[in-house]
Structure 1
């Protein structure tokens, strides 16, 4: 449905959602009559949804994605698509009730380990002749301030003091990137960079997450690490005890094997001397402990 529209739009903070998420547009005044929401495109409008006498109709570009509530004159888009971005006009019984700007962005995702430094990228077209004091740019996380550079001075949001920074010199190169040191798990969220007249840089948003492996190691209780260390030590001691026990058990058998293997040689020596084991016991033992190469003698 396309028709002409001539209405003065008001300006206020936009509703920002990422692609695929639900977007809720709400007027502060309820509507007790027929309600209509439309997306303004320059001097034209596209019907999003309208309800007349409890019968609601959706626009062609919003099929199966809208829900209208008259008690707070709200429009729910679920899910929001990238082309939903724009000004939405809400009218009640033919009178304009409010207008809301919806911004649908496609974020990029980054991750960092706890305690490390991370740089979130943001670029835009800037004037290379812009002086340091004329630079105005800032970053927000989930709609709350992170850091702001204005009149050559940095100001910080809560929890980002002396950890977040942007560069006025890089601004001339179109680089609005955010440097964040000593990353914390609480730093996770959606980050967006702005400059000048509330203009966005590219990418439109950065989703920052903590690396799962490092995060698990960081939040692990101390007693868990102690238990692992104690268990490893006990296992090593047990293995050493088993090895020692097996080694001790094998020693007598080895000695018996050695003596048995030497017996024929002793008997041969006794035979050469003309002695028997029964009559020359002492000599045999002497031969075992003090072996003599009898084959060097000629009888």
Structure 2
């Protein structure tokens, strides 16, 4: 057999390793937020099978043996009848963004399945009036960025406007005074119409999208005295005035007599 150079052999080894690892991964499981998710794994296991998060291998979520199955953490479960038939699938009862990522199933310490859980991004259409506030929801604790793409014909701006990392909020100068720590964008105007994207910086996944239209008249205000006077106060004032007039009329007639 013809020998290969060190560099070529290393490349071949890396390619074969990548191919083996890649083929061992199942396709990602995609579900909507708060739906139930099943991570598939078909493998006969005569010993103990358990699921863990790929990055926390010592933290067991659920496990089965020949006798029974048990949920170590709430919200994760395996079914014993399926386990006996070679179905080691893991069910996540309430999938949210904190649960997305890679999961591993092992049988007696040997990895048999690696499955990625993905949460479908959310699209929120929003229609608000000028001067009202736009509140953007953060669904993850990981660092995120807020990206804005304008749909206003006169305003073609787009790009990152803010980043959030825990309690830290950083925005471009244009938005620094308008955005609060809760990601509330105050004083919306028609030129703010557009698409606002919340993206996870670590996974580069879009978490939530807001399609915003700002139109209509600003909220009505009494320019002189603030809020309009309630009807019941007006009726009460009229009643008091009429009562005073009646009393005065009676007193004047009595004085004349």
State TM-score, norm by structure 1: 0.33
Q: Identify the structure with bigger relative contact order (alpha carbons < 8 Å, sequence gap 6+).
A: 2
Where is the helix percentage greater, Structure 1 or Structure 2? 1
- The structure with the larger Rg is 1
State TM-score, norm by structure 2: 0.38
